[in-house]
Chain A
Amino acid sequence: MREFFKIAWRNLGRNLRRTVIIVVAVALGVWGGLVSMSIFNSLGHQMVNNFINSSLGHIQIHIKGYVKNPSLRLCMTDADEVLSKIKGADHLAGYAPRIYGFALAQSARNSQGVMMVGIDPVMEPTVTRIRQIVKSGSYFTANDDPGVLIGKSLASKLKVDVGDKLSFYLQSFEGGEDVVESFRIRGIYESGISTIDKSVVYLPLQRAEKIMKMENRLNEIAIKVDQDKNVELLKADLKNRLSNEKPKLLMQAQKERSDGKEFDLLKIREPGAGNLILAPEAMGESFKRNPNVTNLALRLELPLAAVHRTRTGGEKYLDLQVFGLEPVNENKLSGIFDRVEIPAKSWLKGTEMDKELEANQGWVVLGESAAQALESEPGDTIRLDSGDKILSLEVIGKLKDGLEESSGKPFAVVSRSDLWRTFVSRSAASEVAVKLKESAELKKTQDELLSGLGLEVQDWKEIWPFLDQYIQILNYTNLVLLLCIYIIIAFGIANTMIMSVFERVRELGILKAIGTSPRQLFGMVIMESVMLAMIGMALGGLASAITIGVWAKKGLDLSMFAAGLEAFGFPTVIYPMLTLKNILTAAVLAFGIAVLSAIYPAIRASRLLVVQALRRF
C-alpha cells in the first residue's frame, strides 16, 4: 500500500505544471464553496438569532391551538400558576409573559391593522432585545407606564412620532363592542425585521390586561434558554413541569333530535357538584376549532332567591334555579328562546329574540311555575338575591315548565354575563354544551376535545417552521452549489487522470507484466486522483480559513442589499462562519468526486492488455 502511495505521489510530480494547475483549480473551487457556505450559514444563523432575540425567544408556551389560530380568547387562564411553575427550571435564562390582541391603530392621518402586544417591562428584556432596539423616545420603566412603543415603519405609515397620540380599536376577552383606547407614543423601535416593525405595538402588560379584560390571563410566555444547545433540555423540563395543566373534566354525552336528525350533545363540567369552569371562553374557543363541533354554548347555573314586589304591595319570595345563557349560541343549540312566550305588546315582538337579548342586559325569562309563585307578569321587575349581592331584572316572558336542566324546580333564564358579573365576579360556566355533527364519531371527538386543552410547549422551529425550513433550504443551496463546483472540478481531475494514464500505458503495462494485479493498478490511479483532490482541498481549506477568519472578525458589509435583506430578517453586516459539518461535507464530497472522476481512467489502467501496452512507446 505504502509503495503504491509512493508511486502515486511521485507520479504527481512528473508533470508538475499540470498537477499545479489542477490543484489550484480544486483549491479555488473548495475556497469558493467554503466561503459561500460560510456566508449562507451566517445569513441563516443571524436571521434566526434576529428573530429569536426580537420576539420569538427559544421556546414559547401557549394554550393548545393558539399558534395555529391566534385568538385573544385562546389563553392561559391561570397565568400566575403557570409562571410559578416555570420559575426555577434548569437552563432558563429568562421568560416574558405576553398578551396579544389585534387592533386597528388610527392616527390623525392614517390607519393600520396592528398587533397589540402586552409585555412585562421588566421580564421582556430577559428574552428579547426590546430595550436596545428603542431608537427614539424611551422604553417602559414600570408595568403601568402609559404609552406604547411602535415600529419605525408603522410610525412612518401613520405619520406619527414620539409624543403623538394614537387611537386603537381592539376587542376584549369578553367580546362584544370594540374597545377604543388612546395612547401617546412613548418610543419608536427598529427591530431589523420589517414585518415586526410595521405591525407590532408594545404596551405594558398591566395596561393590556385592563383594556383587553385579560387579568391573570396570558396568550404567550416566551422563554430564553441559557445556551442554544440546551433548548431541548429546557423544553422537556417545561413540558414536565406543565404536564398537570390539562383540566380534569367530566364529559356527558346524550342523543338529541333536531329537524328529524339525531346528533350527540356533550355537556362538559368540572368534577364536583357546583364547581364552576372559570374563563370558559378559552375552552369554548378551543372546542370551536374542532371540525366536528357545530354549535357550542356556555351555561351558568346558580341557585338564587327571587323577590318580587307584587302590584298589591306585598313581596313574594321563591328559591329559583337560575340559568345564565348566551342567547344566540344557546338558541342554535337548544332553540329555547324560540319557545319563550311574550305578550303581544312586548318590545321583543317581531324581533329575532336571541339576537335582541344578546345585545341587551337586565332581562329574565321565568318558568311558568316560578312566574305563578312570584305573581309576576312580563314587564315586572324581580330581584335575584344571593344574600350579599342583588341583580334587578325585567321579566320579558315565560317558558313552559319542564326545562330538563331544572329537574322540576322553578327556574329562570337570564343572560350569562349578567349572572357572572353580579354573583361570580369573573367569567364562569357550570357547563359547556357542545353540539356535534351527526356524522361525528362520539368517542373520537370526545378525546380530541379533551386533548386539545392544556398547554403547548414548543421551540422556535415548531412555532415558526419556515425559519427552520429556510435554514434547510440554505443548507441544500450550500450543498447544490458545492456539488456544482465539484462537478466542474471532477471533469478537470478526470481529464488529468485520463491524460496521465494515457501517457503511462507502457509503464502500467510493465507494472502489470511483473505481477501487479489489476486491482492494485486501479487503486494506484484512484489514489493519485484522491491525492490531487486532497492537496487542493487542503490549500482551498487554508485559503478559506484565512478569508473567513478575516470576515468573521471584521464583518462582511452587505448594506447595499439592506432593503431586500431586512424584509426577511437578514442582517446587513454578516459574520461568516463554518461548521464542522460544512468542512466534513466539503472534504467527503471532494474525496468522493476524486474517486468518481478517476474511476474511468482507473478501469482503463486495470484492464490494459500487457502485450499491447508493451508495444507502445
Chain B
Amino acid sequence: MAHLQTQGITKIYKENDVATNALAGVDFKMDKGEFTALFGPSGSGKTTLLNIIGGLDRPSNGKLWLSDQEITTLSDSQLSRLRLFKVGFVFQAYNLIPVLTALENVEYILILQRVPKKDRRERSIKLLEQLGLGQLINKKPTEMSGGQQQRVAVARAIVHFPELVLADEPTANLDSKTAGELMDMMARLNQENHITFLFSTHDHMVMEHAKRLVELRDGKITNDQIRN
C-alpha cells in the first residue's frame, strides 16, 4: 500500500442551503520520500485536500490512509495524536506561537510528545543550527523576518520526524529570493533526511522544485506528472 492514499474523497460545504463541492472525488497516492506539489487555481480545493490529509478536517465521503492506518474513522482525540506524532504542518502565514522563542516553538511539539528535556533541547538546537537559524534560537517571532519565521515553522514541522509534512502555500508570504531559499531547504531535507513533503502552491518557482506535480481543478485531480 502507498504511504498515503486517498479514495474517492469528497468535501461538500453547505452555507445558507447552498452546497459547494470543494472536493469531488479525489483518488491520490503518494509514496514515502516524495516531494510533491499540489497546484491549481484558487478555490480548486488544494487547502481542503491538505486539511483532510492532515486530519484537520473530515471528508464528506471517501477514505484516507496514512502509513496503512485509515484516518477517516478516527475520533477527534485520535486525530489529535495523529497530527502530533505523524504529521508536520507548515502554514502560509508561518503561525508560530508569538509568546515563545524560536527554540521554544520548535521544542513545543517534543514537549507534547513528552520527550525528555535534555533530548528535546539538543534536537531542537541542532535542527535550528542545521537550518541556519542558530543565531535566532532565543528570538521571538516578532523579532524575525518572514523567511526566518517560515524556516522556524519548517523546523517545528520536522523536528519530531513525521511521516508526512504538509505545507500549505509555504512561500505565499515570502519574496521570491526567500521563497527560493526556503524551497531549497525543504528539498534538501527531502533528499538528505528522506522527509515526505506535500505542499500546495500556485507559484511556478515552487513547482520547479517539486519532483511530482499534481494539478487540482474544481475539486478533482486533472493532471499528475512525475518530473525528472
Report A-chain residues with C-beta under 8 Å of the C-beta of B107. Answer: 3
Report A-chain residues with C-beta under 8 Å of the C-beta of B156. Answer: 514
| Complex: chain B residue closest to A516, CB-CB | B112
B97–A511 CB distance below 8 A: yes
B80–A10 CB distance below 8 A: no
A515–B81 CB distance below 8 A: yes
B84–A515 CB distance below 8 A: yes
Partner of A10, one of B77, B83, B100: B100
Report A-chain residues with C-beta under 8 Å of the C-beta of B206. Answer: none
* Given A513-B56, A515-B112, A611-B51: A507 and B91 interface contact (C-beta under 8 Å): no
Partner of A512, one of B80, B99, B100, B104: B80
Report B-chain residues with C-beta under 8 Å of the C-beta of A516. Answer: 80, 112
| Complex: chain B residue closest to A508, CB-CB | B97
Report B-chain residues with C-beta under 8 Å of the C-beta of A11. Answer: 99
| Complex: chain B residue closest to A617, CB-CB | B93
From 583 to 617 in chain A, residues with beta carbon under 8 angstroms from any chain B beta carbon are 610-611, 614, 617
Interface flag for B70 (CB, 8 Å): no
Partner of A515, one of B57, B83, B91, B104: B83
Interface flag for A275 (CB, 8 Å): no
Interface flag for B39 (CB, 8 Å): no
| Complex: chain B residue closest to A11, CB-CB | B99
A614–B112 CB distance below 8 A: no
Report B-chain residues with C-beta under 8 Å of the C-beta of A610. Answer: 51, 56-57
B77–A518 CB distance below 8 A: yes
- Output the residue of A11, A14, A511, A611 with the most chain B CB within 10 A: A611
Report A-chain residues with C-beta under 8 Å of the C-beta of B80. Answer: 512, 515-518
Partner of B109, one of A7, A10, A514, A520: A514
The 8 A CB mask of B47-91 against A (1 = contact, 0 = none) is 000010010110000000000000000001100110111000101
Measured in the bound complex, the distance between the Cα atoms of B56 and A617 in whole Å is 18
The 8 A CB mask of A502-530 against B (1 = contact, 0 = none) is 00001100111111111010000000000
Interface flag for B7 (CB, 8 Å): no
From 103 to 157 in chain A, residues with beta carbon under 8 angstroms from any chain B beta carbon are none
Measured in the bound complex, the distance between the Cα atoms of B13 and A548 in whole Å is 63
A518–B109 CB distance below 8 A: no
A514–B111 CB distance below 8 A: no
Min Cβ gap B57→A in Å is 5
B99–A513 CB distance below 8 A: no
Measured in the bound complex, the distance between the Cα atoms of B51 and A13 in whole Å is 32
* Given A513-B89, A614-B91: A507 and B97 interface contact (C-beta under 8 Å): yes
Measured in the bound complex, the distance between the Cα atoms of B100 and A617 in whole Å is 19
Interface majority SS on A: helix, strand, loop or mixed?
A: helix
Min Cβ gap B212→A in Å is 25
Measured in the bound complex, the distance between the Cα atoms of B81 and A3 in whole Å is 18
| Complex: chain B residue closest to A613, CB-CB | B56
Measured in the bound complex, the distance between the Cα atoms of B90 and A486 in whole Å is 43
Measured in the bound complex, the distance between the Cα atoms of B111 and A520 in whole Å is 12
Report B-chain residues with C-beta under 8 Å of the C-beta of A512. Answer: 80
- Output the residue of A13, A14, A516, A520 with the most chain B CB within 10 A: A516
Min Cβ gap A611→B in Å is 5
A3–B56 CB distance below 8 A: no
Partner of A514, one of B89, B93, B98, B104: B89
Min Cβ gap A482→B in Å is 33
Measured in the bound complex, the distance between the Cα atoms of B44 and A617 in whole Å is 22
| Complex: chain A residue closest to B105, CB-CB | A514
Total number of residue pairs linking A and B with CB closer than 8 Å: 63
Interface flag for B28 (CB, 8 Å): no
B76–A518 CB distance below 8 A: yes
Task: Count how many chain A residues have C-beta atoms less than 8 Å from C-beta atoms of the other chain.
Answer: 23
Measured in the bound complex, the distance between the Cα atoms of B100 and A14 in whole Å is 12
- Output the residue of A13, A506, A512, A614 with the most chain B CB within 10 A: A614
A7–B56 CB distance below 8 A: no
The 8 A CB mask of A293-326 against B (1 = contact, 0 = none) is 0000000000000000000000000000000000
Measured in the bound complex, the distance between the Cα atoms of B83 and A511 in whole Å is 11
Interface flag for B161 (CB, 8 Å): no
- Output the residue of A510, A512, A520 with the most chain B CB within 10 A: A510
Measured in the bound complex, the distance between the Cα atoms of B99 and A506 in whole Å is 14
Report B-chain residues with C-beta under 8 Å of the C-beta of A506. Answer: 95
Measured in the bound complex, the distance between the Cα atoms of B83 and A515 in whole Å is 5
Partner of B83, one of A14, A507, A514, A520: A514
* Given A3-B111, A518-B76, A611-B56: A513 and B83 interface contact (C-beta under 8 Å): yes
Measured in the bound complex, the distance between the Cα atoms of B94 and A510 in whole Å is 10
Measured in the bound complex, the distance between the Cα atoms of B79 and A516 in whole Å is 11
Measured in the bound complex, the distance between the Cα atoms of B99 and A11 in whole Å is 7
Measured in the bound complex, the distance between the Cα atoms of B96 and A506 in whole Å is 11
Report A-chain residues with C-beta under 8 Å of the C-beta of B85. Answer: 515
B99–A611 CB distance below 8 A: no
Min Cβ gap A12→B in Å is 10
Measured in the bound complex, the distance between the Cα atoms of B112 and A284 in whole Å is 82
Min Cβ gap B170→A in Å is 14
Measured in the bound complex, the distance between the Cα atoms of B108 and A13 in whole Å is 20
Measured in the bound complex, the distance between the Cα atoms of B140 and A11 in whole Å is 13
From 141 to 189 in chain B, residues with beta carbon under 8 angstroms from any chain A beta carbon are 156
B77–A7 CB distance below 8 A: no
A7–B57 CB distance below 8 A: no
Measured in the bound complex, the distance between the Cα atoms of B75 and A119 in whole Å is 83
| Complex: chain B residue closest to A8, CB-CB | B99
Min Cβ gap A203→B in Å is 79
From 401 to 431 in chain A, residues with beta carbon under 8 angstroms from any chain B beta carbon are none
* Given A611-B56, A611-B57: A515 and B109 interface contact (C-beta under 8 Å): yes
B57–A510 CB distance below 8 A: no
Report B-chain residues with C-beta under 8 Å of the C-beta of A13. Answer: 99
Min Cβ gap A13→B in Å is 8
| Complex: chain B residue closest to A517, CB-CB | B80
A507–B111 CB distance below 8 A: no
Report B-chain residues with C-beta under 8 Å of the C-beta of A515. Answer: 80-81, 83-85, 109, 112-113
A517–B83 CB distance below 8 A: no
From 1 to 36 in chain A, residues with beta carbon under 8 angstroms from any chain B beta carbon are 3, 6-7, 10-11, 13-14
Measured in the bound complex, the distance between the Cα atoms of B57 and A11 in whole Å is 28
Partner of A14, one of B51, B81, B99: B99
* Given A3-B108, A514-B84, A611-B57: A507 and B89 interface contact (C-beta under 8 Å): no
Measured in the bound complex, the distance between the Cα atoms of B56 and A512 in whole Å is 9
- Output the residue of A10, A506, A518 with the most chain B CB within 10 A: A10
Measured in the bound complex, the distance between the Cα atoms of B91 and A511 in whole Å is 12
- Output the residue of B51, B54, B80, B107 with the most chain A CB within 10 A: B80
Min Cβ gap A513→B in Å is 6
| Complex: chain B residue closest to A504, CB-CB | B98
Report B-chain residues with C-beta under 8 Å of the C-beta of A611. Answer: 51, 56-57
Measured in the bound complex, the distance between the Cα atoms of B111 and A76 in whole Å is 77
| Complex: chain A residue closest to B77, CB-CB | A517
Please list 18 pairs of residues, one from A and one from B, whose beta carbons are closer than 8 Å in the complex, sorted by A's number: A6-B100, A10-B100, A14-B99, A510-B95, A512-B80, A513-B56, A513-B89, A514-B83, A514-B112, A515-B81, A515-B85, A515-B112, A518-B76, A518-B80, A520-B112, A611-B51, A614-B56, A617-B93
Nearest first, the 10 closest Cβ-Cβ pairs linking A and B are: A515-B84, A10-B99, A510-B95, A610-B56, A611-B57, A3-B111, A515-B83, A515-B112, A517-B80, A611-B51
8 further interface pairs, Cβ-Cβ under 8 Å (given A513-B54, A514-B156, A516-B112): A3-B111, A6-B100, A10-B99, A11-B99, A511-B97, A514-B83, A515-B84, A515-B112
